[in-house]
């Protein structure tokens, strides 16, 4: 579905991404892990065209993503950023509603009330964005990405700062919506256990390079992760045999 070919990106003489190559299968959940400053956010921004790069080839199917207009790209890719700059002071409902701008009203496949309910935002739908807590804002941004109804969703640390219950509910929502709406997710996270549990595939960036591209199973003994993150991981199992790294 998405092909990233020979993607390199530098600012001045600083290399931020070096010769990145991978593709994403339709209806898959791929997590991107890696130390701080590895280039994860920069990679998502490159894919959704937020920072320009004439040398890379990024294709959606057979189409060149970087040659598309923003509106055309938005119909294909939704992006939930790690940081939001100041947003206009809409209510939660008004803000999410605007995510559908890239579709004509007739083709809108998802009901807004259903999304508000699923993302536990119904009770605060009239509240203005400026009054939301950090975790509520995260859920609003995630809900917007669902309402945008684009087949590929890029998530940048969408569960960071959520309490344990909302963290689990967003992880499960990602998993559930992937199945239900046949979505494809590319999810940058520092939550290694969520990646091991939910991802079909894991990419690891370190020092601007893609150094790992495989299934979560290859990481579950913690050995490779210990090397990559320069920290010792211990492996625990719960009663169902689900493995966790601490
Ligand atoms: N426009 C820019 N100018 C200069 N340096 C930049 C620019 N954009 C990103 N960088 C640098 O590129 C590196 C990668 O940044 P990026 O935000 O992609 O990292 P990351 O892997 O997402 O990190 P984190 O896990 O901390 O969020 C960092 O060292 C950052 O300072």
Instruction: Give the residue extent of every domain in the chain.
Output: 2-245
Ligand 1: residues whose CB is within 6 Å? 11, 14, 16, 34, 36-42
Q: pLDDT at position 104, please? A: 66
CA of 43 to the centre of ligand 1 (A): 10
Q: What is the dihedral of CA 46, 188, 174, 120, to 10 degrees?
A: -100
Q: pLDDT at position 241, please? A: 81
Query: Mean pLDDT in runs of 10 for the chain (246 residues)?
Result: 94 94 97 97 93 84 91 93 83 93 67 90 95 90 93 95 89 91 96 94 98 94 91 87 84
Nearest CA to ligand 1 atom 28: 37
CA of 35 to the centre of ligand 1 (A): 11
- Alpha-carbon distance of 34 to 125, in angstroms, equals 35
Please spell the DSSP secondary structure of the chain, one letter per residue.
-EEEEEEEEEETTEEEEEEEEEEE-TT-EEEEE--TTSSHHHHHHHHTTSS--SS-EEEETTEEGGGS-HHHHHTTEEEE-SS-------BHHHHHHGGGGGS-GGG--S-HHHHHHHTT-GGGTTSBGGG--HHHHHHHHHHHHHHTT-SEEEEESTTTT--HHHHHHHHHHHHHHHHHTT-EEEEE-S-HHHHHHH-SEEEEEETTEEEEEE-GGGGTTSHHHHHHHTS---EEE-TT--EEE-
- Could you tell me which of 92, 82, 85 has the C-alpha nearest to residue 147? 92
- Could you tell me which of 149, 156, 233 has the C-alpha nearest to residue 196? 233
Q: 64 CB contacts (<8 Å, ≥6 apart)?
A: 57, 58
- Could you tell me which of 13, 151, 20, 156 has the C-alpha nearest to residue 76? 151
The closest-lying atom of ligand 1 relative to the alpha carbon of residue 157 is: 27
Q: pLDDT at position 187, please? A: 98
Ramachandran quadrant class, 6 (left: phi over 0; alpha: psi -120 to 50; beta: rest): left
CA of 44 to the centre of ligand 1 (A): 11
Nearest CA to ligand 1 atom 26: 36
Tell me yes or no: is domain 2-245 CATH 3.40.1130.10: no
CA 36 → CA 76, 86, 139, 189, distances in Å?
A: 28, 24, 23, 11
Cβ(29)–Cβ(185) below 8 Å: yes
User: What values do phi and psi take at 67, rounded to 5?
Assistant: -90, -5
Give the mutation target among 12, 18, 42, 229 for probing the ligand 1 site: most ligand atoms within 8 A of CB.
42
- Could you tell me which of 142, 98, 78 has the C-alpha nearest to residue 116? 142
Say if pTM beats, i.e. exceeds, 0.80.
Answer: yes
Nearest CA to ligand 1 atom 2: 11
CA of 37 to the centre of ligand 1 (A): 5
Nearest CA to ligand 1 atom 1: 11
- Alpha-carbon distance of 143 to 115, in angstroms, equals 6
């Amino acid at each position: 579905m998405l092909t990233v070919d020979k993607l390199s990106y530098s600012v001045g003489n600083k290399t931020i991404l070096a010769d990145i190559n991978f593709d994403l299968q339709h209806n898959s959940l791929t997590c991107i892990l890696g130390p701080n400053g590895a280039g994860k956010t920069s990679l998502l921004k490159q894919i959704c065209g937020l920072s320009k790069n004439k040398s890379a080839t990024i294709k959606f199917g057979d189409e060149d993503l970087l040659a598309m207009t923003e509106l055309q790209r938005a119909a294909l890719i939704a992006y939930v950023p790690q940081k939001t700059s100041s947003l206009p002071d809409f209510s939660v409902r008004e803000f999410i509603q605007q995510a559908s701008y890239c579709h004509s009203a007739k083709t809108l496949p998802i009901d807004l009330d259903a999304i508000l309910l699923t993302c536990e935002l119904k009770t605060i739908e009239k509240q203005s964005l400026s009054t939301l807590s950090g975790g509520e804002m995260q859920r609003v941004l995630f809900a917007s990405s669902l309402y945008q109804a684009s087949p590929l969703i890029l998530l940048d640390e969408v569960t960071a700062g959520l309490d344990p219950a909302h963290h689990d509910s967003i992880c499960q929502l990602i998993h559930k919506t992937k199945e239900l709406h046949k979505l494809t997710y590319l999810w940058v996270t520092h939550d290694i256990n969520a990646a091991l549990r939910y991802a079909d595939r894991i990419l690891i960036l370190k020092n601007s390079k893609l150094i790992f591209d495989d299934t979560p199973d290859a990481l579950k003994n913690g050995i490779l992760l210990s090397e990559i993150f320069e920290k010792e991981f211990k492996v625990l199992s719960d009663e169902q045999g689900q493995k966790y790294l601490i």
